Amino acid sequence: MLVLPLCNHLQHIGHGAIYRKLITFAPNFSGVTAKRGPNPSFLSANVKFAGAPVKAGEPGKTESLLRRMITAQQIRELAEPFLDGTPGFLVDVRVSEGNAIRVLLDNDGSTSIEDCMALSRYLESKLDRDAEDFSLDVSSPGLTEPLVLDRQYLKNIGRNVQVKPTGGSKVEGELTAVADGEIEITVREKRRIEGRKAKEWVEEKMRWQIQDLDWTKVTISFK
């Protein structure tokens, strides 16, 4: 007997959107309470898995069903045509043990719950649960996630960011330009000017190649 506990989670956290859908499978043994949830009891003889009978004496079939891995490249090849021509774009795709798929989705404007749900449903429609079980998490980058792509830098022009140059100290300022893999930060700080008693505000423009930065993060002000 196949027990199919279906769990849908739909959340909105801070400025990030997240949509998760997890389907797990657990058998029901006669006289034994099967373990349910993300770590179900192991399959036994004559237990149906994803609609296909698995019987004793069929070497490798159960193992094949349980271990067939989905790759990050496979998810990218499915998602990118769906997003082509839209403001949405992939930032990262990761697939960990057990086919736990995590997709980071960003947008030239702002990523909504609906954006995450649409991509999640599309990916689910293209993956075959009879062949591979999986969990799928489609979300927007959180506030603490570093910028990765040029497209992310472009959408954040005019915002304050903090950068960490490789081998250097952190610098904070306004992101004022992005071009050809290079960014410009305008730093504004009070400095003592020679011949003057009080410190004055001074602006300085600083440039780095993106590849020469350990990370760049948007700074959030609650003032």
CATH number, residue 204: 2.30.30
Q: Are 175 and 153 in contact (CB under 8 A)?
A: yes
Q: Give the total number of structural domains in the chain.
A: 2
Q: What is the pLDDT of residue 49?
A: 36
- In-domain check, residue 98: yes
> Is the same domain home to 51 and 81?
yes
> Is the same domain home to 188 and 156?
yes
> Is the same domain home to 212 and 155?
yes
Q: Which of 79, 104, 139 is the last residue of a domain?
A: 139
Give this prediction's pTM: 0.66
Residue span of the structural domain in which 38 resides: 2-139
> Is the same domain home to 94 and 203?
no
Closest-CA residue to 221 (of 4, 58, 15): 15
- In-domain check, residue 223: no
* Number of residues that make up the chain: 223
> Is the same domain home to 131 and 157?
no
Q: Which of 139, 174, 189 is the last residue of a domain?
A: 139
Q: What is the pLDDT of residue 130?
A: 84
Q: Are 177 and 186 in contact (CB under 8 A)?
A: no
Q: What is the pLDDT of residue 223?
A: 62
Low-confidence spans in the chain with pLDDT less than 70: 1-67, 222-223
> Is the same domain home to 82 and 163?
no
Q: Which of 118, 139, 160 is the last residue of a domain?
A: 139
